[in-house]
Amino acid sequence: MLRKLLFRLNVLPVLMAMTVMVSLSAAGAATVTGVRLGENGDITRLVLDLDNASSFRTFLLDDPPRVVIDFPPMDWRLLKTAGRQGRGVIAGFRFGVFDQGTSRMVLDLKRPARVAQAFILPPREGYGYRFVIDLKPVTQKEFSTLLRPQGGLPADLAATRPAAIKLPPVPVARPRHRLPVVVLDPGHGGIDPGASSLNGHREKDITLAIARNLARHLRATGRVKVVMTRNRDVFLKLRERVRIARRAGADLFISLHADTISRSSVRGASIYTLSETASDKEAAALAAKENKADVIAGVNLSGHSEDVAEILIDLAQREAMNASASFVSYLLPSMRRRGIKLLRKPHRSAGFRVLKAPDVASVLLELGYLSNRRDESRLLSRKGQSEIAAAITDAVLAYLEKQQAYNR
């Protein structure tokens, strides 16, 4: 009955193409108050309940197949669990802040599909405004044609594609007699929630809370300048995080994460540094998982292999990799002294995109496993977050003091 009601809608025909832009006179940002999925034959429909009209645009991405919907800034008042289960051709969906002027929803598809129609319904019959999108299955060949009309990228997709980063072959010149710069990078954010704990807490919220705590500890010493890649719930491309570190003239870059694993008994923190080859299968799997953050948020990362290759062979990066390993030699003992549980082999290496600034010592710190109740509890508690912040602060100061003495 609900399925029939969902499709019993009289709407004006909507001309649909690969990319859709609708301009409406909205009096301010809309709030999303509900979401529903339905099926009618081979059509899958998604409906968002809104308190106001909104403009939007849609485009397709492949590998894996996705439909991306961009809105102006919106307030997402949906359950944290929304999007974990799909229906029809939709396997699930993600939503949140993409950048300062964009809210984004990404529909993960079970199979290739096209946008049959998308439109905004005005208030009627007890409903408020609604955004409606209908998806229809297509073959992979048809999907590829929609994805790349006339053999090229559609204009809107090309606009969202990250520009190639041209990095200089020498380290950034840093003025003498200035405070060392530490860049803190809370993993994930906005449309990319990261991992979820046993009780539904999201990685993006946990890493941001711990990064803010750590920033307070570091600033209180008066011996370092702290820069945050993000200080709110916003999505950042992996390469943008690297650019922030380089623009700040960072001496040290620390990316904070919290993973999940199928074995709930596994717990403990670990530290990753960049390497052309992964130290083990687990490190390789984690790097692949973290490097998909841009894919999750609907960003096309194709065509960047040459840039990555250039970065990896850059001499400055080799020096930075050695400096990263040196920082780990301070961080591991400091965490042990603070009673922080570590994995059996806590220092590992893999090809993380976010660590590929060629002239910045960089580490990715996995703070623990959200799939383990004890780790989850520690990462959520004020005491646990303060212990982590204190351990990292001690290590940062010891490392920078050694570096400054070496450079005199």
Q: Residue 79 is part of a domain; what is its CATH number?
A: 2.60.40.3500
Token pair in block for residue 109? 């598809």
Burial code of 51-78, b = ≥16 C-beta within 10 A, e = fewer? bebbbbebbbbbeebbbbbbbeebebee
* Angstrom distances, CA of residue 407 to CA of 109, 226, 248, 323, 382: 53, 21, 20, 13, 37
Contact 355, 248 (CB under 8 A): no
Task: Give start and end residues of each alpha helix (H) in 201-251.
Answer: 203-221, 238-247
pLDDT tens digits in sequence order for the chain, 408 residues long: 434 333 433 333 333 333 333 433 334 678 999 999 998 889 999 999 999 889 999 999 988 899 999 999 989 888 878 888 899 999 999 888 888 788 999 999 999 999 999 999 988 878 889 999 999 999 999 998 888 543 333 333 333 333 333 333 334 445 555 799 999 999 999 988 988 998 889 999 999 999 999 999 999 999 999 999 999 999 888 888 888 988 898 999 999 999 888 899 999 999 988 765 544 555 455 555 555 555 555 555 444 444 444 433 344 455 677 788 889 999 999 999 999 999 988 988 766 676 666 568 889 899 999 999 999 999 999 999 999 999 999 999 999 998 877 666
Q: Does one domain contain both 225 and 333?
A: yes
Token pair in block for residue 372? 């383990």
Q: Does one domain contain both 233 and 283?
A: yes
Q: Does one domain contain both 256 and 334?
A: yes
- What pLDDT, on a 0 to 100 scale, did the predictor assign at position 14? 33
CATH for 272: 3.40.630.40
Q: Do strands 31-40 and 66-71 pair parallel, antiparallel, or not at all (unpaired)?
A: unpaired
| CB within 8 Å of 124: residues ≥ 6 apart | none
Q: Does one domain contain both 402 and 286?
A: yes
Q: Does one domain contain both 60 and 108?
A: yes
Among residues 147, 164, 192, the one where a domain terminates is: 147
Establish if 25 belongs to a structural domain.
Answer: yes
Q: Does one domain contain both 309 and 214?
A: yes
- What pLDDT, on a 0 to 100 scale, did the predictor assign at position 178? 78
Among residues 123, 147, 171, the one where a domain terminates is: 147
Name the phi and psi angles at 267, rounded to 5.
Answer: -145, 160
Q: At what angle do helices 203-221 and 373-380 cross, to 10 degrees?
A: 50
Is the bond preceding 64 in cis, omega lying within 30 degrees of 0? yes
The CB density around residue 6, as the number of other CB atoms within 10 Å, is 16
Strand partners, 274: 350
- What pLDDT, on a 0 to 100 scale, did the predictor assign at position 403? 81
The CB density around residue 230, as the number of other CB atoms within 10 Å, is 23
Q: How open is the CA angle 244-246-248, to the nearest 5 degrees?
A: 70
Q: What is the DSSP string of 122-163?
A: PSBTTB-EEEEEEEEE--HHHHHHHHSGGGS--HHHHHHSPP
- What pLDDT, on a 0 to 100 scale, did the predictor assign at position 277? 53
Cα–Cα dist 292/90, whole Å? 19
Cα–Cα dist 152/148, whole Å? 5
Contact 344, 201 (CB under 8 A): no
Q: Does one domain contain both 276 and 398?
A: yes
Contact 76, 54 (CB under 8 A): no
Q: How open is the CA angle 139-42-72, to the nearest 5 degrees?
A: 85
Q: Does one domain contain both 70 and 219?
A: no
Cα–Cα dist 226/211, whole Å? 10
- What pLDDT, on a 0 to 100 scale, did the predictor assign at position 177? 54
Q: Do strands 113-121 and 181-186 pair parallel, antiparallel, or not at all (unpaired)?
A: unpaired
Q: Is the dihedral of CA 402, 367, 286, 110 positive or negative?
A: negative
- What pLDDT, on a 0 to 100 scale, did the predictor assign at position 181? 95
Establish if 166 belongs to a structural domain.
Answer: no
Say how many domains are in the chain.
2
- What pLDDT, on a 0 to 100 scale, did the predictor assign at position 231? 95
Establish if 357 belongs to a structural domain.
Answer: yes
Establish if 172 belongs to a structural domain.
Answer: no
Establish if 72 belongs to a structural domain.
Answer: yes
Q: Does one domain contain both 200 and 349?
A: yes
DSSP code at position 189: B
Q: Does one domain contain both 222 and 98?
A: no
Establish if 47 belongs to a structural domain.
Answer: yes
Structural domain that includes position 221: 181-407
Q: Which of 389, 324, 313, 322 has the alpha carbon at shortest distance from 362? A: 324
Cα–Cα dist 114/134, whole Å? 8
